[in-house]
Homo-oligomer: A and B are copies of this chain.
Amino acid sequence: MSKRRITSKELAKLAGVSSATISRAFSPDSRIGSATRDRILAVAREYGYQPNAIARSLNNQRSRLVALVVNAIGNPCEAEEQQLLVHRLQARQLLPIILCCADHDDRLQLMRLASTYQVDHVVVFSDMVSMQDAVDIFHTTKPIIVSFEPLENENVSNIRIDGSAAADEIIDKIARDGKKRFAYLSGTKSSWIDKLRRKWFADALAKRGLSIEAEAFGDYSYDSGFKEAVLLLHRAKVDAIICGNDVMAIGARDAARRVLGKSTPTDIAIVGQDGIAMAAWDCNDLTTLSLDHVAFMDAVVELIECHEADLEGPHSITLTCTARWGSTA
């Protein structure tokens, strides 16, 4: 029943040493006799002693906490990456704090709250947060922010994603299949990453004298993909829809199939983005502009390690997307 946790001072008494020695027993490279250390660790185990990380953080000025700013946990498009990152952080004895919020103001509030916990690193996945906000809120703790916005800021490291070649490849195939009228279904109205993705495809189309003829905005969810596709297909005669992510693409395909009775890729081509595992499921088999999530999260960890090692300045990594061919385009 909630007995108070034993402190180093109390353990010191029990082990007949000073509290400083207790601390040293738990620090790998500190001057301490190996006999003393072994004895202390034994007594510690006996009494269930573990150094208090909160107190250590206060003293150290390092919390080993990492804030992860995300749009959503539930959406598979992000969840896969989050899972990979969380595992990698944990392997380094870093604990992830998830900041997840749909509403913009709440998100800033949340980031302010997390910043009071003196997080060592901040990973901003959410493209709704501007780099400037993130820098402002976290500037005092440790100013590395891993993000994907191509903004040059001395305190921000970022990862850039280039999908132009893969988008070109995909558009090439679809155009050669005879499709002529393209629609783009965005995930959000305001995010820059959505605009970037759209540009990859718009450029690929322009190269072939084509263009985005119809457009709609969803919220990265299946339901929005379904609904917007229905509306889109009713108001415009398009034979290809490029979607902002895979989940919306699945929704759009279901809409085309079910509501309009069209089949892919004969009647209409559907393209997703992200390359999540679900896209490759037999029932989906989506053609999608795919990002290597493992490489992506490795890059995030690389940036974090640069920061842990106190390497100065911003760092930048660029990743290239590839096309995953399915039966929808």
Q: Which residues of A contact B (CB under 8 A)?
A: 1-6, 48, 50-55, 57-58, 63, 65, 72-76, 79-80, 82-83, 86-87, 90, 93, 95-101, 106, 110, 112-118, 139-143, 154-155, 222, 226, 250-251, 253-255, 257-258, 277-278, 281-284
Contact = CB atoms under 8 A, between A and B. Distances in A.
Contacts of A112: 50
Nearest to A253: B283
Q: At the interface, is chain A mostly helix, strand, loop or mixed?
A: mixed
A114 B140 CA distance: 25
Nearest to A76: B76
Given A79-B79, A87-B100, 9 more contacts: A2-B140, A48-B139, A48-B140, A53-B113, A74-B79, A74-B83, A74-B277, A87-B101, A90-B101
Contact of A54 (B63, B80, B97): B63
A72 B97 CA distance: 15
Contact of A116 (B52, B73, B155, B258): B52
Contacts of A101: 87, 90
A52 B100 contact: no
A53 B116 contact: yes
A209 B38 CA distance: 62
A222 B83 contact: no
Contacts of A53: 113, 116-118
Nearest to A4: B140
A113 B93 contact: yes
Query: How many protomers of this protein does the assembly include?
Result: 2
A93 B99 CA distance: 11
B222 A116 contact: no
A95 B117 contact: yes
Among A110, A222, A226, A281, residue most surrounded by chain B Cβ atoms (within 10 Å): A281
Contacts of A142: 2
B282 A258 contact: yes
24 contacts: A2-B140, A3-B139, A4-B140, A5-B118, A5-B140, A6-B140, A50-B116, A51-B116, A53-B113, A53-B118, A54-B63, A72-B83, A74-B83, A75-B79, A79-B79, A87-B101, A96-B97, A96-B98, A222-B278, A226-B282, A250-B281, A254-B282, A257-B282, A283-B283
A259 to B, nearest CB: 9
Contacts of A277: 74, 222
B97 A2 contact: no
A155 to B, nearest CB: 7
A100 B73 contact: no
